[in-house]
């Protein structure tokens, strides 16, 4: 069995390797085809694309910083700052490009900043998650940002050093089968990053993490196409620049999607009870105030049910606090089951709940009370649960949030008092 699984894994790895090699060969052939076209990209168009890429990179960095403060994911912080530094390098490349393009002879040499920025991005995509696991990080969020920025800047300097020691511009050899052989280095880094990122299996993977695989793959394809570029701004170079810009757009969309989801989660946590998932006190007050204003316009009443879980302390003492917490969740489930889409169930306090019933008079509210009690009585789970419920109807029992809740509270304690009296009478008869 183990041998069969090993053979299956080897076959899968060989198949994936063949697919990767086939894809790489296809992009090289595409670059060779574009190279044959007699097309030269307008310098202004290239500059615009480079500036757009820089702005996209800086925007990605800003969005990832927001995500870091929300999730504490330091690997994405490291990659986000890498995109920020890459964006700055892209802007520098634009100025360096004009310096080189003034002399038409320089169309067969490539500015240093092009290579530094892409090599940096490919390298950190490849090793960012390994750095995150093995490097000790400070607990303070700001210190983490400083540490990640120091890593990115240090890596930038180390990558730039060889390009500064050797000739400042990488030469293009138009007659060679591979006019830009040095493009194969970032292509290999991005390809390795795509493989490594694809192997990472996380239960809670964000859109940013999933899209990074495609971004790495697109950048690898762009550099393979650019390796066939015989001039500074020919069709192959234009194709590579287009792929580079598209990859940044896709990644920016992923970061925006992640942040929108994060904001939605934060908003949900701000208005819901962490244990039961019902609305919390803050949300309850907003709902009640809104219902008062709406009912005041429509002259229609609404009712508030204030409920108290009987004997929660006894449940905690006999069965433990976990059973007590589960009892609260059982009550929350019953309230959801008996809620209309326009109703709101909320946790009012420790063992108290509120149910807001729009467009519901006192008699209809009493029917809801009976239905909730019947559902609890029908449950067979131990410990058995019961609720004391008080009713307050707008505007008969109050015209403000405070008045309604106070009236419901008085009605609740009347029910509790009556329940205690009934129990004492039963004991006396027995």
pLDDT, tens digit (0-9, with 9 covering 90-100), for 175-213: 788 888 888 888 999 999 988 888 876 655 688 888 888
The answer to whether residue 326 scores a pLDDT higher than 60 is yes
Within 13 Å of residue 242, how many CA atoms lie on the same side as its CB? Answer: 10
User: Which of residues 17 and 98 earns the better pLDDT score?
Assistant: 17
**For residue range 245-290, what is the model confidence (pLDDT) as tens digits?**
899 999 999 999 888 888 888 888 888 888 888 999 989 999 999 9
Contact residues for 171 (Cβ-Cβ < 8 A; gap 6+): 108, 109, 110
The answer to whether residue 169 scores a pLDDT higher than 70 is no
* pLDDT band at 76; cut points 50, 70, 90: confident
The answer to whether residue 105 scores a pLDDT higher than 50 is no
- H or E segment at 17? helix 2-36
Per-residue buried b or exposed e for 85-100, using 16+ beta carbons within 10 Å of the residue's own CB: bbbbbbbbbbebbeeb
Q: Angle, to 10 degrees, between the axis of helix 2-36 and the axis of helix 235-271?
A: 130
Phi, psi of 237 (to 5 degrees): -65, -40
Alpha helix (H) residue ranges in 227-320: 235-271, 281-298, 312-319
Identify the bridge partners of residue 162 per DSSP, sorted by sequence position. none
User: Which of residues 40 and 66 earns the better pLDDT score?
Assistant: 66
* Average pLDDT, integer, range 382-411: 89
Q: How much is the pLDDT for 345?
A: 93
Q: How much is the pLDDT for 353?
A: 94
Q: How much is the mean pLDDT over the chain?
A: 83
* pLDDT band at 168; cut points 50, 70, 90: low
* Average pLDDT, integer, range 379-406: 88
Helix (H, G, I), strand (E, B) or coil at 308: strand
User: Which of residues 164 and 413 earns the better pLDDT score?
Assistant: 413
**For residue range 129-156, what is the model confidence (pLDDT) as tens digits?**
888 878 787 778 788 888 888 888 888 8
Q: How much is the pLDDT for 3?
A: 57
Contact of 391 with 286, CB cutoff 8 Å: no
CA torsion sign for 376, 377, 378, 381 is positive
Helix (H, G, I), strand (E, B) or coil at 390: strand
**For residue range 410-428, what is the model confidence (pLDDT) as tens digits?**
988 888 877 665 555 555 5
């Amino acid at each position: 069995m183990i041998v069969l699984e090993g053979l299956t894994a080897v076959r899968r790895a060989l198949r994936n390797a063949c697919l990767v090699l086939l894809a790489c060969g296809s992009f090289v052939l595409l670059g060779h085809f574009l190279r044959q076209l007699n097309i030269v990209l307008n310098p202004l168009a290239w500059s615009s694309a480079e500036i757009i890429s820089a702005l996209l990179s800086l925007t990605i960095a800003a969005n990832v910083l927001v995500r870091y403060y929300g999730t504490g994911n330091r690997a994405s912080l490291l990659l986000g700052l890498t995109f920020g530094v890459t964006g700055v390098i892209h802007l520098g490349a634009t100025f360096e490009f004009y310096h080189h393009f003034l002399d038409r002879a320089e169309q067969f040499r490539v500015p240093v900043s092009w290579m530094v920025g892409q090599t940096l991005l490919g390298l950190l995509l490849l090793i960012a998650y390994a750095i995150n696991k093995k490097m000790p990080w400070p607990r303070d969020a700001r210190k983490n940002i400083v540490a990640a920025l120091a890593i990115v800047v240090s890596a930038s300097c180390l990558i730039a050093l060889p390009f500064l020691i050797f000739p400042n511009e990488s030469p293009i050899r138009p007659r060679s089968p591979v006019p830009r052989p040095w493009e194969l280095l970032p292509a290999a880094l991005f390809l390795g990053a795509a493989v490594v990122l694809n192997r990472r299996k996380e239960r809670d993977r964000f859109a940013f993490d999933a899209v990074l695989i495609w971004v790495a793959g697109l950048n690898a394809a762009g550099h393979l196409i650019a390796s066939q570029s015989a001039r500074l701004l020919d069709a192959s170079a234009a194709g590579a620049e287009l792929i580079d810009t598209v990859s940044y757009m896709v990644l920016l969309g992923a970061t925006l999607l992640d942040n929108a989801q994060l904001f939605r989660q934060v908003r949900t946590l701000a208005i819901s009870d962490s244990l039961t998932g019902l609305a919390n006190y803050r949300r309850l007050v907003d709902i009640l105030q809104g219902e008062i204003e709406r009912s005041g316009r429509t002259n229609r009443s609404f009712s508030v049910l204030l409920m108290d879980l009987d004997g929660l302390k006894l449940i905690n003492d006999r069965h433990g606090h976990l059973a007590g917490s589960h009892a609260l969740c059982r009550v929350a489930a019953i309230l959801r089951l008996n809620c209309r889409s326009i109703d709101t169930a909320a946790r009012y306090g420790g063992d108290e709940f509120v149910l807001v019933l729009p467009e519901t008079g006192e008699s209809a509210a009493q029917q809801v009370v009976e239905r909730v009690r019947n559902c609890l009585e029908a449950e067979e789970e131990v410990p058995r649960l019961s609720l004391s419920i008080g009713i307050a109807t707008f505007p008969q029992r109050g015209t403000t949030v405070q008045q309604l809740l106070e009236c419901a509270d008085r009605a609740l304690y009347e029910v509790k008092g009556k329940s205690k009296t009934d129990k004492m009478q039963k004991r006396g008869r027995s």
